[in-house]
Amino acid sequence: MKKILFFITIIVFSVFIPKKIHAQSTVKVFVLAGQSNMQGQGNIYDGSNGVAGDTVATFVPSCPSNMSCNFIFNMLDGYGDGWNGWTYDIAQNGIVVATETLLSGFSDSSIIILQNGIPCFVIINSSGAYGNEVSWTFTNPSGIIESTLSVANGGIPPPNTLVDLLGNDTLEQWPIFETGGAWSILNDIYLYYERGSDTIRDQITIGQGANNNMFGPELMFAFQIDQYYQDPVLIIKTAWGGKSLAEDFRPPSSGGTTGEYYNKMIDIVNHVTNNISTEFPALGTSTYELAGFAWFQGWNDGASNSFLNEYESNLYNLINDVRNDLGSPNLPVVVASTGQGGYENHTGWMQDMQDIISIAQENVACNDSIYGGTLGFVNTKPFYPAVSESPEDAGYHYHNNALTFLNIGKSIGDEMILAINNIAYCSTTSLIELTNKKQLIEIIDILGRESKDLKSQPLFYIYDDGTVEKKLILE
């Protein structure tokens, strides 16, 4: 099939700066703010989608001739709240002889009568949540364990969990996440995140999302920023699930009562930056620079027409107030759109995200006449996955698709680097005209590496007259 290449070109003012280097160590501080998707909803290990009907264990029962073939099915839950919807069928000769689940608590058991010497199949009847907490054993009449399961889906991850993604990474696109069989840790980039009663003060690694079994945009954002700076980096994540911009994050300039979580966000940033040496003694310095702010939120502003209609003005106020309250009037900012639903037609709440919220976000973030190149925009619609290719059926959380959250984090990081260099423009209308005669000097990627016409990533064409063209080649 013939390949068609599309070129998107943006002409920019100044020469791209490949890498920021400072003589003295200065901690670069970035704030990642928003609601549950900024918390991190990318599934690492498991999910409930597409696993019902899967056979997770097979064994041949062995029973002494002088004993009845009564097997004990021991059910365990690591958290103590039952199996949260996970149910298993036990079948022989194509007939289901028992259906079992743990309704509550840490453990329970059932006696299941099996036929000696006939293969037994354990099949997922219905999938639930928190599959990593689920385990069971089958014990024969002699007290010998003949079959066991340590995770609900039998260790076969549903599509596009992080484990599944890495296990099928034949092109080695994501080798950065594992080192010697363990999750990689970024030594010079730290995270502060008040996650419920558990505050994370640690180096960036896997499992720092909404819970230990999830990750968020912080992961790939950190990898992109780490390649750009030689200085240590601190990410402060101020994100809470189920929060609106109209009320919870309401900025002061919008009038009315300032949102509780707007104030909390500002307070956390001020507390951490004023106490870097005690919160993160391993950094060995209290000198910092507030380097950027990223916003990824929108879903809960679909709750009412008034919320929807004032989103654009509230977002303008949020950006301006954050810059003012953090004492950085030109703070680089990136807005990631509410891309749930992608480019498909929907109804109700989901369609409001596409028709109103995402358009409002683009209008603000692409207002180059006000913000110049210091405000960047990431369209997350292309990263919205099909439910059949995802761990869960949860559209508001991008179906908990690990690949989606990797791509969103990477894109926010790439756009932040452009904003830092004042070249995060959305259109050519805000940029100077090219001269008719100019010579191409080199082509580099966003990290300053010399590149040839790579597909699906921004490239910078540097000319001898000092102009730069940003091109995105889509195949």
- CATH code, domain with 72: 2.60.120
User: Which of 149, 176, 192 marks a domain boundary?
Assistant: 149
Length of the chain: 475
Are 7 and 31 found together in one domain?
A: no
Range of the domain at 138: 55-149
Say whether 434 sits in a helix, a strand or coil.
Answer: coil
Distance between CA atoms of residues 398 and 48, nearest Å: 14
Rg of the chain, C-alpha, whole Å: 26
Does 50 map to a domain?
no
Bridging pattern class, strands 70-77 and 233-239: unpaired
Provide the token pair at 48: 């409930």
Same domain, yes or no, for 411 and 464? no
Q: How many other CB atoms are found less than 10 A from the CB of residue 41?
A: 27
Domain assignment of residue 202, yes or no:
yes
**What pLDDT is attached to residue 17?**
40
218, part of any domain:
yes
Contact status, residue 363 vs residue 356, Cβ threshold 8 Å: no
Contact 44, 306 (CB under 8 A): no
Q: Is residue 464, in this structure, part of any structural domain at all?
A: yes
Contact between 405 and 215 (Cβ < 8 Å): yes
**pLDDT at 390 exceeding the cut of 70:** yes
Q: Are residues 118 and 224 in the same domain?
A: no
442 plus 362 within the same structural domain: no
Residues 302 and 398 in one domain: yes
- Which of 149, 172, 202 finishes a domain? 149
Q: Are residues 338 and 210 located together in one domain of the fold?
A: yes
Same domain, 6 and 26: no
Q: Please check whether residues 231 and 380 belong to one and the same domain.
A: yes
Looking at residue 167, its pLDDT comes to 83
Per residue in 235-245, pLDDT (tens digit) is: 999 999 999 99
pLDDT at residue 318, as a whole number: 98
Global pTM reads 0.75
The one-character DSSP state at 404 is: H
pLDDT digits (tens, 9 = 90+) for 279-327: 999 999 999 999 999 999 999 999 999 999 999 999 999 999 999 999 9
Are 145 and 86 in the same domain? Answer: yes
For residue 163, give the CATH number of its domain. 3.40.50.1110
27 with 84, same domain: the answer is: no
* Predicted confidence (pLDDT) per residue in 179-207, tens digit: 667 888 988 899 999 999 999 999 999 99
Distant-in-sequence contacts of 82-86, Cβ < 8 A, 24+ apart = 83/128, 83/133, 83/134, 83/152, 84/128, 84/129, 84/130, 84/133, 85/48, 85/126, 85/127, 85/128, 85/129, 86/124, 86/126, 86/127, 86/128, 86/131, 86/134, 86/152
Band the pLDDT of 465: cuts 50, 70, 90.
Answer: low
Give the CA-trace dihedral at 161, 166, 168, 171, to 10 degrees.
Answer: 130
Instruction: Check whether residue 214 and residue 320 sit in a common domain.
Output: yes
User: Looking at 149, 176, 205, which one is the last position of a domain?
Assistant: 149
Average pLDDT of the chain, as a whole number: 87
For the cut 70, the answer to whether the pLDDT of residue 10 exceeds it is no
Overall domain count for the chain: 3
| CA dist., res. 42 & res. 25, Å (int) | 33
- pLDDT interval class at 15 (50, 70, 90): very low
33 lies in some domain: yes
CA distance 321 to 300: 21
- For 145-178, b/e burial (b = at least 16 CB within 10 A) is ebbebebbbbeebbbbbbbbbbeeeeeeebeebe
Residues 393 and 128: beta-carbon distance below 8 Å: no
Q: How confident is the model at residue 464 (pLDDT cuts 50, 70, 90)?
A: low
413: in domain: yes
461 shares a domain with 398? no
Q: How confident is the model at residue 168 (pLDDT cuts 50, 70, 90)?
A: confident
